[in-house]
């Protein structure tokens, strides 16, 4: 059924800290590794060692250079942005599906694809502004992040391992998993403390996942200014003796 379920109190999702993410892609690799062998796999690579190694990834990490506006005294920074399904509360990727293959679970809000019903029309991928869905060329069906639903409820695993693979793999603990519908949960507290946000809210899909914005960086330019030679000192290398002119040239490289 592609009609959305009634909003449930439980909203499982991820909180991703853009301040501590170092862009190592460990989450993306761990996701690929788990889901390739998991209940929703395999995640095929169309041409793994060829010229066009196109494959399905549920998680892709972008890196951005941010140049502050010239008037401000903020410094530039690099931000790594892991992009995956935000398990929205009212997403169009579910309602556009003509077959009922794309659905949102009523009990915990996880958005999934029923591979046995999917006809591979790709309309859900077109409807997602976050690029969460990718087609499995071999099977002809759509695939997406499952929030490791085959892991988080897996009673054969240790209690501490019942988390999405990306969360467990993150070396800087930049990824957190929990119930964002519960205002007292650890993830909700984190979101409240750090002003967690969801990108592009104007689509009205009400994402569950949250990103924690990078904290303001120490002003690198001011540090640089302090250590540098004062600007009013003038040095004309032409006036120096030969050895010192050579030394100045070498050190200026």
Partner 1 sequence: MRPTFSIICFTVLSGVGYGAWFLMGVGLAIGPICGAPQATAHPVITLRTCHIPFFDHASLLLALLLVVAGLLASLGHLGKPSRAWRALSQWRSSWLSREGVAALLTFVPASLLVTHAAAEAWLIATATADHVAPRSWNGLAWSEWIRPLLGAWLAAGSLGTVFCTANIYASLKTIRAWHERHVVPGYLLLAAYGGTLLVPAAATLDGMLHPVDHAILGCAALVLAAAGAWLKLRYWRAIDAQPATTAGHATGLEHLGDVRSMEAPHTEESYLTHEMGFVLARRHARKLRRIALWTAFAFPAALTGVGVIAQIAGAVSPAWHLLSWAALASGAAGLFVERWLFFAEARHTVMAYYAR
Q: Which residues bind partner 1 (CB under 8 A)?
A: 1-3, 18, 23, 25, 28, 52-54, 56-57, 60-69, 72, 74, 76-79, 81, 83, 92, 95-101, 117-123, 125-131, 134-137, 139-142, 197-200, 203, 211, 213-214
Ramachandran angles phi, psi of 244, nearest 5°: -70, -35
The residue assigned the tokens 């009922």 is 100
Q: Which segments of 129-237 does DSSP mark as H helices, in order? A: 149-152, 165-169, 186-194, 220-227
Q: Measured from the CB of residue 159, what is the shortest distance to partner 1 in angstroms?
A: 32
- Nearest CB to partner 1, comparing residues 121 and 190: 121
Q: Which residue lies nearer to partner 1 by CB, 79 or 240?
A: 79
Nearest-approach distance from CB 183 to partner 1, in angstroms: 22
CB of 38 to partner 1, least distance (A): 19
Task: Select from 130, 128, 129, 125 the least CA-distant residue to 141.
Answer: 125
Phi-psi region of 54 (alpha: psi -120 to 50; beta: other; left: phi over 0): beta
d(CA 58, CA 132) in angstroms, rounded, equals: 7
Length of the chain: 253
Cβ 36 to partner 1 shortest distance, Å: 16
- Is residue 84 within 8 Å of 57, Cβ to Cβ? no
Closest to partner 1 by CB, 9 vs 131, is 131
Nearer to partner 1, 9 or 201 (CB): 201
C-alpha–C-alpha distance, residues 50 and 47, integer Å: 5
Question: Nearest distance from residue 41's CB to partner 1, in Å?
Answer: 16
Report the residue number, 21 or 152, with the smaller CB distance to partner 1.
21
């Amino acid at each position: 059924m592609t009609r959305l379920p009634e909003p449930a109190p439980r909203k499982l999702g991820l909180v991703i800290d853009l301040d501590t993410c170092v862009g190592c892609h460990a989450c993306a690799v761990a996701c690929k590794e788990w889901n390739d062998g998991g209940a929703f796999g395999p995640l095929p690579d169309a041409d793994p060692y060829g010229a066009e190694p196109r494959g399905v990834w549920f998680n892709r990490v972008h890196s951005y250079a941010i140049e502050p506006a010239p008037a401000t005294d903020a410094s530039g920074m690099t931000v790594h942005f892991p992009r995956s399904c935000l398990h929205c509360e009212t997403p169009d990727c579910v309602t556009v599906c003509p077959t009922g293959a794309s659905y949102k679970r009523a009990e915990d809000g996880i958005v999934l694809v029923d591979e046995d019903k999917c006809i591979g029309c790709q309309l859900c991928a077109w409807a997602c502004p976050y690029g969460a869905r990718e087609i499995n060329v071999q099977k002809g069906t759509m695939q997406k992040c499952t929030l490791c639903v085959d892991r988080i409820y897996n009673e054969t695993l240790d209690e501490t391992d019942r988390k999405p693979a990306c969360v467990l793999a993150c070396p800087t603990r930049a990824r957190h998993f929990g119930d964002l519908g519960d205002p007292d949960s650890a993830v909700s507290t984190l979101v409240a403390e750090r002003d967690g946000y969801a990108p592009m809210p104007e689509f009205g899909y009400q994402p569950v996942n949250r990103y924690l914005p990078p904290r303001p960086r120490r002003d690198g330019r001011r540090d640089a200014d302090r250590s540098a030679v004062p600007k009013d000192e003038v040095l004309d290398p032409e006036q120096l003796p030969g050895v010192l002119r050579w030394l100045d040239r070498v050190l200026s490289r």
